[in-house]
Amino acid sequence: MAENVDLLWEPRDRGGRPQRLALTVDRIAAAAIEVADSEGMAAVSMQNVAARLDVTKMALYRHVASKADLVAVMIESAVGDPPNLMTVPGDWRTRLTRWADLMRETWRRHPWLPAATTGERPTGPREVGWTESAVAALSDTGLTGGERMDAVFLLSGHIRNTQSSATAGTQPWTTDKNLREVLHRHRDRFPALFEAATEAHAATPTDNGWTFGLTRILDGLSTLITTRHHPNQP
Amino acid sequence: MAENVDLLWEPRDRGGRPQRLALTVDRIAAAAIEVADSEGMAAVSMQNVAARLDVTKMALYRHVASKADLVAVMIESAVGDPPNLMTVPGDWRTRLTRWADLMRETWRRHPWLPAATTGERPTGPREVGWTESAVAALSDTGLTGGERMDAVFLLSGHIRNTQSSATAGTQPWTTDKNLREVLHRHRDRFPALFEAATEAHAATPTDNGWTFGLTRILDGLSTLITTRHHPNQP
DNA sequence: AAACTTGTGTGTCCGGCGGACACGGGGTGT
DNA sequence: ACACCCCGTGTCCGCCGGACACACAAGTTT
C-alpha cells in the first residue's frame, strides 16, 4: 500500500543501470489501459494484462507491487496532465465549465475510470493536479476553503455519476427497454415516475443528465457566490 | 439475469406446499446484510453468507439464482419502504429535502449500498418506489418529465457520492493524515488546493460535503423552477 | 403399504482470480 | 573469469462463483 505512493510520486529512475527492459511500468500500464478500454475494468486481471505483453503474470509483480498498484498507475496515466485554466478567459463559471468538459471528455475516453476510482486508494500527482485546477478556479469567489473543496467534490461527483452508466436507479428508466416494460406494467404503482419517464422518452435524447446537472450545480454555486459578494442583499 | 426480476417483483408464494424450510430468501438476505453491515461488501461471498446460516454455499443456490441475484435481494431489503412525501407540508423543496435526509439515513445504516448499487443490475419495486417519491415531489414545479428525471438523478448521485467514502480524489484531503502529509510536501505544486484544504481542516469538521452539495443542488433547481414560473423575468 | 415425485441440502469438481516463493539464466561490474 | 543481481518463469495456495450429480425426507399416487 505504501510502495505505490512512491511509484506514483517519485520519478522512476532505474538506478542508473542502462539496461534494455522488455517490461516497464509504463508498458504494463499501457497494456492494462488497452484491456480496460476495450473489454472493461472487469477484464483487467494480471493474467490478461500479462498475456497482452506475452509474459507471465508473475513478471508484472517485478514492476508493480499489487493489482491495486497497477490500477493506480493506470488511473494516473489515463487522466492525463491537468489543464491550466488560468489561460481561460472569463470568470470562475467559465473556467469550471471548461474544466468539467475536459474532465468529462477524459472520462468518456476511458469509461472504466468511474469503476477504477472507487474505494480507498492512493492518489497520484496528475489526479491531484486536476483537483488543484478546479480549486484554483474558485480562488477569487469569496468562498471559504471548505466550500471550495466541497464545490469541487460536488462537481467531480457529478462527472462520475453521469459517466458511469446506471449508477443510480434513476437513469436507465428512459432508455432501457426492459425497464421501460416493467415500469409500464406497474404504472399504477409509480404514476409520477411513469409519466416523467414516458415524457422524457418522447423528448429529444438525453445526455444522461450531464448538462442539466452541471447547470444546476453552477447555478447553485452562483447563488452562493453572489450572496457572499453582496451579503446584505437577498 | 431474468430470474431475479421475478424474484424481486413477484410475490414469493411457495407453490402451496406447507413445507417447513430451514432456508428462505429472506433469511439468506438478512444474513448477507449482516455480513455486509459488519464486514463490508467485499466480505459478502456465498461461502460467508452460507457459513452464517450453518449451511453449505450450494444450498443458497436453491433460493437465489446467482450472487447478483442475492445482492439484488439484499438491496431491495435494505432500502426499505419508500416514504410518502405527500404528507409532508410545504413545497417541493421541503419534500425533496426530507426525501434526501431519509435516503441518506438509510444509506448511512448500510454503508455498502453505494458499492452494491453500481453497474447494470435489476431494480426492485421498493427502490423504484423511492424514485417515484422524489419524482412525484416535483410534480407541480413546471419542470418537464426529462427535467424531473434528471433532477432526481442529480440528487441520488449526490447521496451516493457523499455516502461512499473517498469516491472522488477530492474528499479525503482534509481528513486523511497520510494524504495531508503528501499534500504538505508538494504544496508548491498545488498551492490552491493546499490552501483550501488547510483552511478546511482548521474549520469545523465537515459532513463530507453533504449539506453544501444539497443546498447547491436545491438552489440550482430553485433557479430553474422560478424561471419557469416567470419566463419573462431574469 | 409400496412406489413415485418433488423439493432441498451436500460433496465434488472446475476455471479464474490475486499473490507467495523458489528457481534459473543472462548481462554487468570487478 | 568470476560473482552478483536483476528479471522473467513455474509451481503452489486459498478464495471466488458456479455446474452437476447425489442423498434424503417428505407428500402424493396407486
Tell if B56 CB is < 7 Å from nucleic strand D.
no
Nucleotides of chain D touched by protein CB (<7 A): 6-11, 15-21, 27
Mean pLDDT of B201-226: 93
Tell if B59 CB is < 7 Å from nucleic strand D.
no
Q: CA dist A38 to A35, A171, B118, Å?
A: 5, 24, 20
Name chain A contacts of B218, Cβ cutoff 8 Å: 220
For A90, phi and psi rounded to 5 degrees? 115, -170
Tell if A17 CB is < 7 Å from nucleic strand D.
yes
Residue B131 and residue A170: Cβ atoms within 8 Å?
Answer: yes
Element (H, E) at B37: helix B25-39
User: Which of the nucleotides lies closest to B69 (Cα–C1')?
Assistant: D17
Of A220-224, A229-233, B49-53, B181-185, the poorest mean pLDDT is in: A229-233
Average pLDDT over chain A, rounded to whole?
Answer: 89
Nearest CB to A157; choose among B157, B193, B198: B157
C1' (D11) to CA (A108) span, angstroms? 41
Mean pLDDT of B61-88: 96
Indicate the DSSP class of residue A175. Answer: T
- What pLDDT does A3 receive? 56
A149: which 3 cell numbers? 473543496
Q: Is the pLDDT of residue A17 over 60?
A: no
- What pLDDT does A2 receive? 43
- What pLDDT does B58 receive? 97
Element (H, E) at A161: helix A145-163
User: Which of the nucleotides lies closest to B63 (Cα–C1')?
Assistant: C8
What pTM does this model have? 0.93
Residue A152 and residue B174: Cβ atoms within 8 Å?
Answer: no
Q: Is the pLDDT of residue B140 over 60?
A: yes
Alpha carbon A114 to chain centroid distance?
5
Q: Is the pLDDT of residue A232 over 80?
A: no
Residue B170 and residue A153: Cβ atoms within 8 Å?
Answer: yes
Nucleotides of chain C touched by protein CB (<7 A): 7-12, 16-22, 27-28
A232: which 3 cell numbers? 446584505
Tell if A59 CB is < 7 Å from nucleic strand D.
yes
Mean pLDDT of A205-221: 93
Mean pLDDT of A206-231: 92
B148: which 3 cell numbers? 424531473
> Tell me: the pLDDT tens digits for A168-196?
555 677 878 888 899 999 999 999 999 99
Distance to chain A for B221, nearest Cα, Å: 6
Residue A161 and residue B161: Cβ atoms within 8 Å?
Answer: yes
User: Which residue, among B161, B70, B85, has the nearest Cα to A168 in the 3D structure?
Assistant: B161
Nearest CB to B216; choose among A145, A154, A164: A154
Distance to chain A for B111, nearest Cα, Å: 12
Q: CA dist B223 to A151, B81, B112, B139, B230, Å?
A: 18, 31, 34, 16, 11
Indicate the DSSP class of residue A205. Answer: P
User: Which residue, among A82, A80, A57, A70, has the nearest Cα to A26 in the 3D structure?
Assistant: A70
DSSP-assigned states of every residue in A15-53: TT-----S--HHHHHHHHHHHHHHH-GGG--HHHHHHHT
A41 pLDDT band, cuts 50/70/90, is very high
CA dihedral angle for residue B156, residue B161, residue B162, residue B166, rounded to 10 degrees:
170
B118 pLDDT band, cuts 50/70/90, is confident
User: Which of the nucleotides lies closest to B18 (Cα–C1')?
Assistant: D27
Residue A209 and residue B150: Cβ atoms within 8 Å?
Answer: yes
Tell if A58 CB is < 7 Å from nucleic strand D.
yes
C1' (C8) to CA (B52) span, angstroms? 18
- What pLDDT does A136 receive? 97
B2 pLDDT band, cuts 50/70/90, is very low
Nearest CB to A145; choose among B164, B197, B216: B197
Q: What percent of chain B has pLDDT over 90?
A: 72
> Tell me: the pLDDT tens digits for A122-145?
889 999 999 999 999 999 999 999
A191: which 3 cell numbers? 404514476
Contact B33, B113 (CB under 8 A): no
Q: What percent of chain B has pLDDT over 70?
A: 89
Residue B170 and residue A131: Cβ atoms within 8 Å?
Answer: yes
Q: Measured over all CA atoms, what is the biggest interatomic distance in chain A, rounded to whole angstroms?
A: 72
Q: At what angle do helices A145-163 and A92-109 cross, to 10 degrees?
A: 40
Q: Nearest protein residue to C21's C1' (by CA)? A: A58
Mean pLDDT of B53-80: 96
> Tell me: the pLDDT tens digits for B34-64?
999 999 999 999 999 999 999 999 999 999 9
Tell if B226 CB is < 7 Å from nucleic strand D.
no
- Decide: helix, strand or coil at residue A214: helix
The rounded distance, in Å, linking the Cα atoms of B61 and B43 is: 18
Residue A203 and residue B5: Cβ atoms within 8 Å?
Answer: no
Nearest CB to B128; choose among A117, A158, A193: A193
Nearest CB to B144; choose among A127, A128, A199: A199
Q: CA dist B41 to A122, B35, B121, B162, Å?
A: 20, 8, 16, 17
Residue A193 and residue B131: Cβ atoms within 8 Å?
Answer: yes
Tell if A61 CB is < 7 Å from nucleic strand C.
yes
Distance to chain A for B38, nearest Cα, Å: 17
Distance to chain A for B20, nearest Cα, Å: 32
The rounded distance, in Å, linking the Cα atoms of A57 and A47 is: 5
> Tell me: the pLDDT tens digits for B153-195?
999 999 999 987 655 555 677 878 888 899 999 999 999 999 9
Name chain A contacts of B174, Cβ cutoff 8 Å: 146, 149
